Every structure is written in C-alpha cells, then in structure tokens.
C-alpha cells in the first residue's frame, strides 16, 4: 500500500464524487492508468482556512496499485508518496487461560481511561473487574438532566460521575497532542467506530462525536468487555484501599464489601475529591499541580463561522467553526480558550451539593445557536491557600470558587452570568442582549468580578480585547460570560514510577486525568491503554516497559 499526502482540492469540490476525484489525482501523481489503481481509502482530511476567500481541503490517501515496486521506483524522490507505514496496535501479551481469580486486575472508574484500560485488559484475556461509583449511562442521563431541568443534583450520578465518565455529556472532541508511535490513538478511534461512532472520525483532522452517540457507544463497549469476561459493578464506590508493606491488598466498597486485588488501576477522574482524600490519608504519594480557572463565554456561532471561514461560513464540509486562543497577560498569567464547543451548550457540571461548575457540550450536528468555550487562567500550586500543609489545597481552592458561584447564582444551581461589555466596564449586568445563554437550569445576571481571584479577573479583562484582534466580535458587548469553570484538569498528580505504579504503593496504577496524566478523552483513553499494558506485563512477569 502507498500513502499519498498533500492532495489539495478547492473547498468547492463536490463530496458526492470525492472518491473519483481523489482517484484521478492519485493516478496523475503516480503516473498510472485508472485500471492500475485497485483501491483507495482516505487516511486524513484537513482544511486550510488561512486564506478565507480560498479555503482548500488537504487529503492524504492510501492506495493499492497493480505494481507497487515499479510505481515506487518511478516516483522515487517524491516527498508526497511513500509506503504506508504499519498502523496496527500490537498487544503486549495475553493472559494464561488459567489466570487465577486472585490475579484479576481491578479497574476503579469507567471514564475513557478506565474504559480503555478495561477493554485492553479484557482483549488480552485478563477479565478485569470494573468498579464504578455512578450509575449505568441510561440512568445517569436521567440524573444529569435532573440537575439541568429540575435543579436537583445527585452527588453520585451526574456530569462527572457514572458510566462513561466526565466526557459522556460533552462535545466528544477527540484530538490529542500525545506522541503516538505505537498507534494507541488509532486503536481508540477504531474501537469507537466499531461501537458505532461516525467512521469519518478515523480521517478528519478534528474528529468529534457529540453526546447522544457517546451514550450508545459506551453501552456497546461495556457489552464487549463483558463478553470477554470483564465484570461490572456499578453504584460501587471505592471508599478505602488496603495497603500492606507498601503493596495493595485490595479495595473496600462504600457498602463495606472487600475485594482482594494485587493490581488496581486508579482511573477516578479529576472530581473524585473524597477518593483523593482517602488515598492521601492512606499515605499514597501525591503532589499538587497547576490547573486553570475561568468562565464559559458564549457568542453566536455565526459570528465565529464568519470570522474563521469568511464567505464559506456554513459550508457542510467545514461544519461549525472552532477557535483556539491564548493571551499572555501583563500580570504574568496565561489566559486561553479551553474545550471550545462549536454549536453547543454550556452545561452544569457540578458534582458536589452547593457548588456551581460550568463546562460545554454539543451534539454531533453542532447546530445549536451559540458557540461556547472556557476562557481560563492558569494557576499554580503557590496560588492555593494552605499548600504548605497539604497537596489537597487545590481542591479546597476549587471548592471555594464553586461555592461562591453558587451563592452569586442565587443558591439553586443557577449560574452567575454577565455580559462581556458590562464585565469589561466593571458594572453588573441587568438585562440580556442578543445572545441567549444556554446554561441550564438558568443564569442569574450579576457582577462576576468577585467570582474569581482578582488576578484572574484582571487577566481575563485584558485578554478579551486581545482576542477581539484575532476574532472580530469576540469582545462584543452582548456575548455572555457564565461562571465558573474550575474542573479544567486535576488539581493534583498521583505520581507514578516509570513502570506506571504509584511512587510508594506497589500494585496501584494511577491513570488518566485524575492522576494528572491526561487531559481530554483521547489522552485519558491512551493513558488507560498504557496502564493496561503495564498491568499485563507485571502480571505476566515481564516488566519490560520502555
């Protein structure tokens, strides 16, 4: 198979017949007749919108040709043709058929990290036991809507907790910057497609899935793990961990049941504050790490589309436009856009009573009226009061601002909000303008200046006009800020050794976003796979991790 890169087509190219257009381009580049091209698949499609009046699509394709050696010889020296590199994920080993019951690994948490740790372990024959504090995804969906529609928060079943983890009600963006010589990312996408994700996620440059599809996919992936011998225990919160001589002996559930285990994957996400506290009490090594705080901002999606795509705004191949912005403020703080959701909604993402937390989600179609993104400010452990006494100080800091937002919102899970024009002018908002905020259960218009630390407010006030220079209209008066965004990443790291075990607790494999080793669905899933490999190698007595 050969890979051809940099096939550049105008955006106006009809997608109805795209395969034939690409076939013609491939034949022309390779200098072969149409009959010599046996098969073509799209490997990657991206767009170049730097010149808005002439947006182009860039394709990479894989082709099978009649006489590959001769073709390769003819195009030798052509940078844009090469043999297709191998992309298959390779398992590190397989469990013996007689794996004793006592050696079954336990996976705590069934978010993207726990899901992929469990899936890979199951595919290697290790029959993992999965413990998830929240409810199965269908029940969880009802509970989550309970907060959005009826102001009722279920502390064990919400946007953060339950089958599928934090990203289930999300935009389902699947991009990652992780270096990936072992093709973990492609394996993740292939498993998603096998579970009914849109096949295009395998080749578009900014893949996304959207909430409704994610829910169905998670059910299918659970069924696959169960069919391979995995065992699921939902509504099973791990409340304690037994450690003897620096080695894990098992975990205890909230109801008191003890499950003996020598290998425990800890994939609890960044909101498992009670679990972090328990682990700290048991002496598991952890340290504070930086995260970010800020607001969600909402604009009309049409404004972002126009700014990004000019006259091609609304083109179906481009979809709803996104953005990525960074500003280095004069007070030394970095302000950046976070988890941008084109054509989506701002969601209530709290998991603790008496707190308000924002985040964003969308459906696959991304056709809601507003664009939203976090506008967040980087903070460091030295900013957390009490950091000298405890690595958990970042959690208290998050909680402080979540409670403040709850109060400012009126104490019923409504979120405090302010128009950008009023925020910049330093006066409270009293009426909405042209942008209707999407946050449910609703917003309370107010003055957000006391909802974050002063340095964060100052940095955001400086950043919004700077972002206007990149996206015309970004600091428009009527854009809405909704607070507060606090769960951008874990406030701590449960540090691990090179072999993926905890620094001081053997058999405990901290993983994913909660342990500070991932940020986002893809990187959490990939980390879950790496940890599954480490567990397998350990169980097989082959700790040859590189």
- Rounded to whole angstroms, the Cα distance separating 370 from 351 reads 25
How many C-beta atoms surround the C-beta of residue 29 within 10 A? 18
By the 8 A CB rule, do 145 and 114 touch?
no
CB of 29 to ligand FAD, least distance (A): 35
Burial 275-301 (b: 16+ CB within 10 A, else e): bbebbbeeebbbebbbbbbbbbbbbbb
- Rounded to whole angstroms, the Cα distance separating 43 from 62 reads 6
- Rounded to whole angstroms, the Cα distance separating 105 from 204 reads 35
- Please give the residues from 326 up to 345 whose contact with ligand FAD meets the rule CB under 6 A: 339
- Rounded to whole angstroms, the Cα distance separating 407 from 392 reads 23
Q: Which residues contact 411 (CB under 8 A, 6 or more apart)?
A: none
Task: Provide the mask over 138-167, with x wherever binding to ligand FAD is found by CB under 6 A and - wherever it is not.
Answer: ---------------------xxxx--xxx
- Please give the residues from 80 up to 109 whose contact with ligand FAD meets the rule CB under 6 A: 108-109
In the list 47, 126, 148, 169, the residue contacting ligand FAD (rule: CB under 6 A) is 169
Beta strands 56-65 and 2-10 are antiparallel
- Please give the residues from 210 up to 249 whose contact with ligand FAD meets the rule CB under 6 A: 237-238
Task: Give Cα separations from 265 to 225, 259, 262, 506 (angstroms).
Answer: 16, 14, 10, 11
The answer to whether 268 contacts ligand FAD (rule: CB under 6 A) is yes
The answer to whether 272 contacts ligand FAD (rule: CB under 6 A) is yes
Task: Provide the mask over 466-495, with x wherever binding to ligand FAD is found by CB under 6 A and - wherever it is not.
Answer: ------------------------------
| Nearest alpha-carbon partner for 364 in 176, 199, 159 | 199
Q: For ligand FAD, which is the closer residue by CB, 105 or 360?
A: 360
Select from 50-58, 61-69, 261-269, 395-403 the region that touches ligand FAD (CB under 6 A): 261-269
CB of 65 to ligand FAD, least distance (A): 37
Q: For ligand FAD, which is the closer residue by CB, 19 or 200?
A: 200
CB of 321 to ligand FAD, least distance (A): 16
The answer to whether 305 contacts ligand FAD (rule: CB under 6 A) is no
Q: What is the 8-class DSSP label of residue 312?
A: G
CB of 520 to ligand FAD, least distance (A): 3
The answer to whether 171 contacts ligand FAD (rule: CB under 6 A) is yes
15 CB-contact burial (10 Å; exposed 0-12 / middle 13-18 / buried 19+): exposed
The answer to whether 372 contacts ligand FAD (rule: CB under 6 A) is no
Select from 7-15, 17-25, 357-365, 391-399 the region that touches ligand FAD (CB under 6 A): 357-365
CB of 275 to ligand FAD, least distance (A): 4
Q: For ligand FAD, which is the closer residue by CB, 237 or 327?
A: 237
Instruction: Tell me the two tokens of residue 399.
Output: 């909680």
81 bridge partner residues: 4
Beta strands 334-341 and 370-379 are antiparallel
In the list 132, 305, 368, 485, the residue contacting ligand FAD (rule: CB under 6 A) is 132
Q: What is the 8-class DSSP label of residue 200?
A: G
Q: For ligand FAD, which is the closer residue by CB, 171 or 383?
A: 171
| Nearest alpha-carbon partner for 344 in 378, 310, 319, 315 | 319
In the list 37, 95, 111, 494, the residue contacting ligand FAD (rule: CB under 6 A) is 111
Instruction: Tell me the two tokens of residue 54.
Output: 């002439």
- Rounded to whole angstroms, the Cα distance separating 465 from 310 reads 21
Give the number of residues in contact with ligand FAD, rule: CB under 6 A: 45
CB of 232 to ligand FAD, least distance (A): 11
The answer to whether 131 contacts ligand FAD (rule: CB under 6 A) is yes
Q: What is the CA radius of gyration of the chain?
A: 25
Q: For ligand FAD, which is the closer residue by CB, 113 or 481?
A: 113
- Rounded to whole angstroms, the Cα distance separating 371 from 307 reads 12
In the list 129, 221, 303, 349, the residue contacting ligand FAD (rule: CB under 6 A) is 349
Q: Which residues contact 62 (CB under 8 A, 6 or more apart)?
A: 1, 2, 3, 4, 40, 41, 43, 84
In the list 513, 529, 532, 539, the residue contacting ligand FAD (rule: CB under 6 A) is 513
In the list 267, 377, 392, 479, the residue contacting ligand FAD (rule: CB under 6 A) is 267
| Nearest alpha-carbon partner for 441 in 353, 351, 356, 338 | 356
Select from 67-75, 264-272, 457-465, 474-482 the region that touches ligand FAD (CB under 6 A): 264-272
Q: For ligand FAD, which is the closer residue by CB, 272 or 457?
A: 272
- Rounded to whole angstroms, the Cα distance separating 284 from 75 reads 57
CB of 395 to ligand FAD, least distance (A): 13
Q: For ligand FAD, which is the closer residue by CB, 115 or 460?
A: 115
| Interface ranges with ligand FAD (CB under 6 A) | 108-114, 131-134, 159-162, 165-167, 169-173, 237-238, 267-269, 272, 275, 339, 347, 349, 359-361, 512-514, 518-522, 524
């Amino acid at each position: 198979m050969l890979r051809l890169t940099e096939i550049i087509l105008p955006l106006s190219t009809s997608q109805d017949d795209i395969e034939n257009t690409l076939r013609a381009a491939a034949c022309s580049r390779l200098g072969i007749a149409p009959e010599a091209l046996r098969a073509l698949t799209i490997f990657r499609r991206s767009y170049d919108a730097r010149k808005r009046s002439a947006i182009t699509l860039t394709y990479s394709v894989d082709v099978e040709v009649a006489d590959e050696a001769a073709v390769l010889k003819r195009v030798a020296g052509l940078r844009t043709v090469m043999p297709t590199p191998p992309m298959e994920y390779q398992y590190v080993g397989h469990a013996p058929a007689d794996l004793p019951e006592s050696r079954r690994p336990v996976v705590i948490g069934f978010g993207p990290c726990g899901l992929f740790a469990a899936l890979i372990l199951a595919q290697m024959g290790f029959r993992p036991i999965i413990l998830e504090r929240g409810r199965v995804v269908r029940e969880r969906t009802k509970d989550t809507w309970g907060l959005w529609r009826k102001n009722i928060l279920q502390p064990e079943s919400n946007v953060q907790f339950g089958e599928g983890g934090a990203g289930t009600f999300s935009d389902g963006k699947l991009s990652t910057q992780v270096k990936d010589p072992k093709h973990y990312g492609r394996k993740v996408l292939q498993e998603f497609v096998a579970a009914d994700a849109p096949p295009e996620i395998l080749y578009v440059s900014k893949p996304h899935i959207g909430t409704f599809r994610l829910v169905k996919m998670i059910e299918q992936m659970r069924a696959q793990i169960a069919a391979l011998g995995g065992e699921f225990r939902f509504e099973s919160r791990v409340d304690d961990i037994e450690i003897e001589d620096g080695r894990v002996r098992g975990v205890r559930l909230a109801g008191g049941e003890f499950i003996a285990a020598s290998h425990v994957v800890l994939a609890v996400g960044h909101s498992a504050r009670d679990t972090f506290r328990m682990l700290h009490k048991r002496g598991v090594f952890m340290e504070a790490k930086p995260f970010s705080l800020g607001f969600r901002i909402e604009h009309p999606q049409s404004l972002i589309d126009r700014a990004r795509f000019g006259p091609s705004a609304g083109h179906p191949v481009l979809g709803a436009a996104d953005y990525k912005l960074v500003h280095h403020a004069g007070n030394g703080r970095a302000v950046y856009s976070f988890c941008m959701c084109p054509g989506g909604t701002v969601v209530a993402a709290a998991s603790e009573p008496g707190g308000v937390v924002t985040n964003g989600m969308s459906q696959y179609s991304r056709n809601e009226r507003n664009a939203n993104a976090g506008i967040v400010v980087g903070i460091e452990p030295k900013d957390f009061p009490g950091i000298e006494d405890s690595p958990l100080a970042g959690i208290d800091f998050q909680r402080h601002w979540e409670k403040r937002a709850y109060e400012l919102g009126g104490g019923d899970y409504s979120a405090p909000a302010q128009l950008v024009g009023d925020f910049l002018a330093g006066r409270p908002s009293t009426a909405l303008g042209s942008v209707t905020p999407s946050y449910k259960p609703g917003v309370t218009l107010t003055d957000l200046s006391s909802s974050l630390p002063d340095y964060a407010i100052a940095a955001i006030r400086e950043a919004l006009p700077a972002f206007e220079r990149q996206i015309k209209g970004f600091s428009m008066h009527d854009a809405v800020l909704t607070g507060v965004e606090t769960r951008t990443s874990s406030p701590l790291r449960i540090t691990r050794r090179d072999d993926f075990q905890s620094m001081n607790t053997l058999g405990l494999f901290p993983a994913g976003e909660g342990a500070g080793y991932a940020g986002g669905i893809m990187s959490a899933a990939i980390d879950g796979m790496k940890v599954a490999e480490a567990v397998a190698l350990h169980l097989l007595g082959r700790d040859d991790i590189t």
